[in-house]
Amino acid sequence: MSNPITRLYRRILTLVELGRTSAPPDESGTIATVQAIINDLVTRDRRPIVVNFGFAGCLPVGTDVVMLNIAGDPSNPVVIGSNNQKYRPKGMLPGEAMVYDAFGNSVYLKASGIIVSSPNLVTVLGKDIVVHASHSYSWDVDGWGLRWTETSPGVFKLDNWMNLPGVSSTVNHPWVAGPLPPP
């Protein structure tokens, strides 16, 4: 029988393990589980993945994982962190954050504003949808669009980059002048 100090030392050494997913996670239960390769000889199967409330993701195969072995017991690990080197966004500034996936969709919380980006269809659903801008509002489709800019209280300038005849002017109209009603 081994010395209690030696057993404690081994438990401490195996408290945290690094691995890489080797199969798609099982998303069918109340908590996702994954298979991860620790080294050439050790593979951990059906290990729970713990994430913060409100966030969910299905780890792509090849994602690096950090596993916490409960009480230092390698037969009882929980995935507490993950990073996929291929899809991780780069170039963010300190304090910025992004929610992203492996398909190019993202919500980027930048120091200068928020960018919602997708190479696919973006759908906004809601009983009522309110868009409010305090200074200007722009839209375009493939580079063709309009911009409303408030030049003075209740006076808006309309610019376009669609080459539409007669659509470039300063507007002082009852439906655009004055403050917006509360939502």
pLDDT digits (tens, 9 = 90+) for 105-142: 999 999 999 999 999 999 988 888 888 888 787 877 77
Nearest to 177 by CA among 161, 153, 158, 157: 153
- Residue 98 shares a structural domain with residue 61: no
Residue 103 has pLDDT above 80, yes or no: yes
By three-state DSSP, how is residue 4 classified?
helix
Residue with tokens 């050790």: 42
Q: Which of 22, 53, 83 is at the close of a domain? A: 83
On the 0-12 / 13-18 / 19+ scale of CB atoms within 10 A, 154 is: middle
Cβ–Cβ < 8 Å for 158, 169: yes
pLDDT interval class at 163 (50, 70, 90): low
Please check whether residues 15 and 39 belong to one and the same domain: yes
Q: 102 with 65, same domain?
A: no
Residues 68, 111 share a domain:
no
Judgement on whether residues 108 and 47 belong to the same structural domain of the protein: no
Query: Number of structural domains, the chain?
Result: 3
* Distance of alpha carbon 66 from alpha carbon 18, whole angstroms: 5
Indicate whether 54 and 98 sit together in one domain.
no
How far apart (Å, rounded) are the C-alpha atoms in residues 35 and 16? 16
Residue 39 belongs to domain with CATH number: 2.40.50
Decide: helix, strand or coil at residue 51: coil
What's the mean pLDDT in 143-149?
77
Q: Which domain holds residue 139?
A: 129-183
How confident is the model at residue 182, as a pLDDT? Answer: 45
pLDDT higher than threshold 60 for residue 166? no
Band of residue 167 on the pLDDT scale cut at 50, 70, 90: low
pLDDT of amino acid 132:
82
Judgement on whether residues 10 and 61 belong to the same structural domain of the protein: yes
Question: Same structural domain for residues 164 and 100?
Answer: no
Q: Same structural domain for residues 52 and 31?
A: yes
Same domain for 97 and 77: no
- 165 confidence band (pLDDT: 50, 70, 90): low
Split at pLDDT 50, 70, 90, the class of 164 is low
8 A C-beta contact, residue 35 and residue 45? yes
3-state secondary structure of 18: strand
pLDDT confidence tier of residue 41, bands split at 50, 70 and 90: very high
**Is 28 buried (19+), middle (13-18) or exposed (0-12) by CB count in 10 A?**
exposed
User: How sure is the predictor about 179, in pLDDT bands with cuts at 50, 70 and 90?
Assistant: very low
Provide the pLDDT for residue 170.
Answer: 47
Over residues 48-100, the pLDDT tens digits come to 999 988 888 999 999 999 999 999 998 899 999 999 999 999 999 999 999 99
Neighbouring residues of 45: CB distance < 8 A, sequence distance ≥ 6 = 35
Determine the Cα–Cα distance for residues 52 and 3; give it in Å rounded to an integer: 39
